[in-house]
Structure 1
Amino acid sequence: MSALLILFLCLALGILCRRYAPLPEGIVPGINWWVLNIALPALVLALVPHVRIDTRLWFPVVGMYVTFFGAWALFASLGKVFDWSPRRVGCLALVCGLGNTSFMGYPLVEALHGKEGLSIAVIADQLGCFPMLAAGGIVVASLYSGRGAGASAIVRRLLTFPAFIAMLAGVAIGFAGGMPPALEKPLLQIGQTLTPLALFSVGLQFRLHLRREQVGALAAGLGWKLLLAPLAVFGMGIAAGVGGLTLTVGVLQAAMAPMISAAILADQYDLEPRLANTVLGAGILLSLVTIPLGNMLLPAA
């Protein structure tokens, strides 16, 4: 569980530094640039060549897609009902549609279900969340940020998004026989900077005191990510006859807190970054209660 300890320490350090330390100008944009353009692509490029598609494990992968597209549909609908701005809709679709399936998902699932559960969690993360962040995330960010929402602009942003390029390169490297260990090790070391730096950045921006009009959006976002999304994935699994550990891990991955990199992407595209970071921080804290409770109710608990 050391990964979870690092997560909370970095978040706490960011909060403390924001309050008590003199910070250099531009520190948050600088950290976020590194996370999205260097650390995340390096991690994707190191991990994707190892992914092996197993059709028997379709459920946890499809569960990630249900979580993402369900969030998009839900918040687009709520946006019309409550007259939310496009930036708020994009913020919630992005941050609450993508889960923290690696930095929280891996240690939590392994602690609850051992190495067998972890192997299923990895499939959900690398075939589900990585592609959704690299492709779907940039589409949502482009559509709702107002930075050129035409088809050609979105395609251009997608094709120039470093994580998407890294994913395509990783697939090609995997088909070619894999990456040389001498190259893979430094990529992993660079990728490992993602979590501490991203959480430190989130801590620097973290606010629990939102404006009154943002509180409902916070509740809706966390309600989807921590409760409704896993229930939707659970219902899909039961309807499809999925059971046992595959069902349990797929539901748990859908129930993970919002993804760190998604909040950084929301910040880069100016999609209500204060709301995005509060949803992330509150989601991380709440999920430490909701995940174990949910696990007790699932078949393989």
Structure 2
Amino acid sequence: MDVAVVATAITVMGIMILFGYFLSAKIPVNKETKQVLVVVVLNIAVPSVILNGVFNTEVSGDLLRQVGIILLISICFHLAAIVFALLFARIAGFQSTFAKRMTILAALGNTGFIGIPLCMTIFGPTGGLLAAIFDAGLDFVIFTVGLYLLQSGSGFRLRQLKSLVNVPLAAVIVGITSAFLNFEPPAVLQQLVELLSGLAAPLAMLYIGILLQQLLKRNGFRVFPQIWFPITIRLLLIPALTLIVLSFLPLQELTRNVVILLSGMPTFMLAAILFSRYTDDEDTAVMTISFSTILSLLTIPLVAYAASFFF
């Protein structure tokens, strides 16, 4: 993995976050406007990244094998991260309910909103496609084990799985199916998804900047005392353990690099919504998302630099 390329991409994304921050400071951005940005990124731009990855990659048995491997790795990775974070939360002396909440914030990263655009920028269309598959594994863990942990005392419900049915997943299915059928998309469709995929990173970073400005304006830099736990686990310990484990696995270079990069993502954005719905502690999630996102601009290049010594 080229550290300079990663650092450049992170710097550019950081600048775009600043644009969003100052835009929100100058022009009031309401809830509806933010919702439009989220819908465009998740339902238009990210699916276009996935389809663009399929259309611009020779879909061979080797690629399909990589897709299957990275999906399996993602599910195992996130389950292991939850066990690891929960163990450390208990060692830290957190009470049962609070320990579960800290586990969710520490174990699950923003592989979709930030990870997919970042991997597409650094590794090209195929990198964006593999990142989307990795994110699909995260979604499965969030809406099964994740919700089970948040709903303290509640059992798992099958209706939770309906959240797994979304536009990015549909794009993965459509893309892989079209590859199996040797479907050659028309030039208009290819150009359309290529242009729309370019919206993913700028709009996602602008949204994060807007969100950060509003969160900091409302809460300032006030943090809860235990914020060190999810940030340390999410941005440092999990990427470090990922590097060690992957050094023993015979993975292709691109697959390995995508997993390494995604292991260092900040806390996932959806945590704020889930904490608001299933707990009375939304501010904890909001603060963790904000500060982990800011700090990740420094730690992601550090993870890439560390990877250069392992591989």
TM-score, length of structure 1 as denominator length: 0.72
SS of structure 2 residue aligned to 1:26: helix
For 2:37 and 2:66, the matched residues in 1 are separated by 39
Partner of 2:257: 249
Q: 2:168 matched to which residue of 1?
A: 163
Instruction: Name the Cα RMSD after superposition.
Output: 3.9
The unaligned stretches of length 5 or more in structure 1 are 111-117
Matches within 5 A, 1:1-301: 1=5, 3-48=9-54, 50=57, 51-54=59-62, 55=65, 63-78=73-88, 81-83=93-95, 84=98, 88-95=102-109, 100-105=114-119, 124-127=130-133, 129-139=134-144, 142-143=147-148, 150-159=156-165, 161-180=166-185, 181-206=187-212, 210-213=221-224, 216-217=226-227, 219-240=228-249, 242=250, 249=257, 252-258=260-266, 262-263=268-269, 265-269=270-274, 270=276, 272-292=285-305, 294-299=306-311
**Alpha-carbon distance in 1 for matches of 2:178, 2:302:** 39
| Cα 1:120/1:41, change in 2 over 3 Å | closer
Q: Return closer, same or farther for 1:46/1:107 CA change in 2, 3 Å cut-off.
A: closer
Unaligned runs of 5+ in 2: 277-281
Q: Provide the C-alpha distance between the structure 1 equivalents of 2:196 and 2:126, rounded to a whole number of angstroms.
A: 25
Percent identical:
15
Offset, 1:11: 0.3
Partner Cα separation in structure 2 for residue 210 and residue 143 of structure 1: 31
Verify the 8 A CA contact 2:239 2:263 in the aligned structure 1: yes
Deviations 1:49-76 (A, max 9, x none): 6454535898766554444223222334
Please state how far the C-alpha of 1:248 moved relative to its aligned partner.
Answer: 6.7
Is the alpha carbon distance of 1:33 and 1:145 closer, same or farther for their aligned partners in structure 2, counting shifts above 3 Å?
A: farther
Tell me the distance in 2 between the aligned counterparts of 1:131 and 1:61.
7
Q: Distance in 2 between matches of 1:87 and 1:72?
A: 11
Distance 1:177 1:143, change over 3 A: farther
Aligned partners of 1:225 and 1:258 also within 8 Å? yes
Task: Identify if the C-alpha distance between structure 1 residues 150 and 60 changes in structure 2 by more than 3 Å, giving closer, same or farther.
Answer: closer
Which amino acid in the other structure matches residue 162 of structure 1? V
Amino acid in structure 1 at the alignment position of 2:108: L
